[in-house]
Amino acid sequence: MRSLIHRAFPELLIASLFAAAEVSGQTAAPYAEIDPRAVSYVGPGRDAAHDLPGTEIKIGLIVPLQGPREAEGKALQVAAQLAVDDEAAIPFPHHRRLALVVRDESGPWGRASSEIVRLVFEDRAVALLTSAEGGTAHLAEQVGNKIGIPILTLSSDATTTQINLPWIFRLGPTDAAEARAFARDIYDQRKLSHIVLVTEENHDGRVGGEEFEKAAQHFRASNPPARVAFSTSPSSFETLAGQIAALHPEALVLWTGPESAAALMPSLSETLPAIPIYLCSKAAQSFGEAGPGERCRTCPASAATGGVWTVSPAPTASADREAFERKYRQRAGVGPSATAAEAYDAVRLLAAALRESGPNRARLRDALVKQPTFSGVAGPIAFDGAGNNQAEVKLVPLP
pTM: 0.81
Q: Specify whether the CB–CB gap between 75 and 337 falls below 8 A.
A: yes
What does the pLDDT look like over 155-200, one tens digit per residue? 888 888 877 789 999 998 889 999 999 999 999 999 999 999 999 9
CATH of domain 175-280: 3.40.50.2300
pLDDT digits (tens, 9 = 90+) for 145-155: 899 999 999 98
CATH 3.40.50.10490 fits 50-173+325-392, yes or no: no
Where the chain has pLDDT below 70, the residues are 1-39, 109, 288-305, 314-316
pLDDT in tens, 109-147: 678 899 999 999 999 999 999 998 888 999 999 988 899
Separation in Å, CA 127 to CA 90, 114, 205, 248: 20, 16, 27, 47
Burial degree of 333 (CB within 10 A; 0-12, 13-18, 19+): exposed
Q: CATH 3.40.50.2300 in the chain: give the residue spans.
A: 50-173+325-392, 175-280
Return the closest-CA partner of residue 279 out of 110, 388, 132: 132
Tell me the sheet residues that pair with 151. Answer: 128, 168
